[in-house]
Amino acid sequence: MDIVTQVLSGVFALGPIAAMIGASILGVFIGALPGLNPVMAIALLLPLTYSMEPLVALGMVAGIYNGSMYGGAIPAILLRIPGTPAAIATTFDGYPMAQRGEAARALKIACWSSALGGTASAIALMTIGPILARATLAFGPAEYFWIAMFGMASIGVLVGTDAAKGLMAATLGLLLGTVGLDQLSGTARFTFDQVWLLSGLDLIVILVGLYALPPVIALAEAADLKGLSAAQLKLEPAKVPWSEVRSLVPTWIRSSLIGIGVGILPGAGGNIAAFLSYNAAKSASDDPDSFGKGNPVGVAAAECGNNSDNAASMIPALTLGIPGNVIAALVLGALLIHGLQPGPQLFHQNPGLVGGFMVQMLLTSLLILAVGGAAATKIFAQVQRLPGVMLVPTILVLMAVGVYVINGRVIDLWIMFVAGLAGYVFEKTNIPLAPIVLGLILGPMAEQNVRRALLISRGDVTELVTRPISAVIALATLGLILFPIVAAISRRRRSA
């Protein structure tokens, strides 16, 4: 009981409360600006935390993390520009809803889904975190290879109507993922003697180019001089029927479990959780053809999935000292700055601090309901009322600034420009962009882990499928590939 009192008294002090509220608002703004991301914001924040109380510093980290992950959905829905990599799947159905004049409804569903996903993740961190973290120690390179293959198997859901074009796009993503130094041998691949290519192509730069520049070009082509009126935008409070809320509950539960599972695995991330959640929602739907055309279930699945990864990625970081993603690594850095050593002893030596951070992850998830919904609808959504000719230069400047500050290199602006032109051509020729991104994210993960597994087993390929966990994931991957084929055959038989 003393520990509970210590945790609550520490979290609900004036400093941590102000830090959580202010950082949540800042996080929403960071996520809503393409090119900026929570990793950058938290990395810049860390040196400033030396003089802060630990719970104030961690409260700011929690607020920026949860706020920015939701904030990425705002431009994804309004402009089809993902504010963060994890918001890519949100564009699939969020933007079509906005085009139908349902921007407020889509933002409300995204807000609810983000808050519920983050809350479920925080509860998992507080309750079953240590148990789940120890279970992930059984995962080796073979298991991570099959996790990446399971994610790539969902490409079948994202390729659209033309499988050949979808597979071509996925292959391009896999090729782009090979650029840079080989992590195992140290050999430079496809760098053409350019030093800046040794670190590979920056994912955020490619994403901003692929997803942000084509809509800007389309706005320039339309030469809109008026913008949308308030009546057309329909920004008055959207009433979501109770029947629709109930229909979203299974999606929220499913996506939360997927996001928590992905978050616990070191090296995975919210973008993978969002894609897997979207794929699972589409596979479970009675009307899969409506996905990509403005189905609110797609928005709920993507947002709940990527936010339920947030606190879950802290589980291996706090319990084992193994960061689940880059942000978890930055949290470990914040703990070390204040003289705290992450790992199993952290819970025994500093229970008040660890418990306080867990509660902060929960509270900042709930703050999205207040901060996120108001900011998205009353501030950011007004951007659609601006004439297109005003939006074009504004978005271009924000894109350029966001991309430049990532690495401080002018060459990144050229990469963004080339990726944007390629994305524009792909859209005109009906080549889907999502498989490119999925290949770019999961390709290196699959390649490096399968090679590690073969090195450990001295070339014995059977090791990839004889380990119990890897065999289960391999069977699940096979089922994911075969399910659409079997479903298509059964539909043809019924129609015949």
pLDDT at 299 exceeding the cut of 80: yes
Rounded Cα distance, 249 and 281, in Å: 12
- Say which residue, 254 or 237, is predicted with more confidence: 254
Count the neighbouring beta carbons within 10 Å of the beta carbon of residue 224.
16
Q: Determine the average pLDDT of the residues in 204-214.
A: 79
Selection from 112-116, 149-153, 446-450, 480-484 with the highest mean pLDDT: 112-116
> What is each CA distance from 93 to 229, 289, 398, in whole angstroms?
22, 12, 24
How many helices (H) and strands (E) the chain has is answered by 27, 2
Rounded Cα distance, 272 and 89, in Å: 10
β-pair partners for 189: 180
Percent of the chain with pLDDT over 70: 82
State the residue for tokens 């306080």. Answer: 356
The pLDDT, as a whole number, for residue 321 is 63
The pLDDT, as a whole number, for residue 402 is 73
Q: Determine the average pLDDT of the residues in 118-123.
A: 92
The pLDDT, as a whole number, for residue 236 is 57
- Minimum mean pLDDT range among 138-152, 382-396, 414-428: 382-396
DSSP characters over 13-26: SHHHHHHHHHHHHH
The pLDDT, as a whole number, for residue 468 is 84
State the residue for tokens 């030596």. Answer: 349
Rounded Cα distance, 431 and 165, in Å: 6
- pLDDT class for 184, splitting at 50, 70, 90? confident
pLDDT tens figures, 336-390: 777 776 766 677 777 788 888 889 999 999 998 887 666 666 666 666 566 767 7
- Minimum mean pLDDT range among 128-132, 155-159, 219-223, 381-385: 155-159
Can you tell me whether residue 237 is helix, strand or coil? coil
H helical segments located in 308-387: 314-320, 326-337, 346-349, 351-367, 373-378
pLDDT tens figures, 155-170: 655 555 566 777 788 8
Print the SS3 string covering 260-293: HHHHHCCCCCHHHHHHHHHHHHHHHCCCHHHCCC
Q: Determine the average pLDDT of the residues in 171-192.
A: 85
Q: Determine the average pLDDT of the residues in 225-242.
A: 60
- pLDDT class for 257, splitting at 50, 70, 90? very high
State the chain's mean pLDDT as an integer.
80
* pTM, rounded to two decimals: 0.71
Rounded Cα distance, 469 and 474, in Å: 9
- Minimum mean pLDDT range among 131-145, 270-284, 431-445: 131-145
The pLDDT, as a whole number, for residue 414 is 92
DSSP characters over 53-119: -HHHHHHHHHHHHHHHHHHTHHHHHHTS--SSGGGHHHHHHHHHHHHTT-HHHHHHHHHHHHHHHHH
> What is each CA distance from 289 to 283, 294, 321, 389, in whole angstroms?
10, 11, 43, 34
The pLDDT, as a whole number, for residue 304 is 93
Residues in the chain: 496
pLDDT at 123 exceeding the cut of 70: yes
The pLDDT, as a whole number, for residue 238 is 59
- Minimum mean pLDDT range among 54-68, 316-330, 473-487: 316-330
Question: Residue 257 is which amino acid?
Answer: L
Question: Residue 50 is which amino acid?
Answer: Y
Q: Determine the average pLDDT of the residues in 424-442.
A: 82
- Minimum mean pLDDT range among 67-76, 172-181, 328-337, 364-373: 328-337
pLDDT at 245 exceeding the cut of 70: yes
- pLDDT class for 64, splitting at 50, 70, 90? confident
Furthest CA-CA distance within the chain: 72
Q: Determine the average pLDDT of the residues in 82-110.
A: 85
Rounded Cα distance, 469 and 482, in Å: 20
pLDDT at 81 exceeding the cut of 70: yes
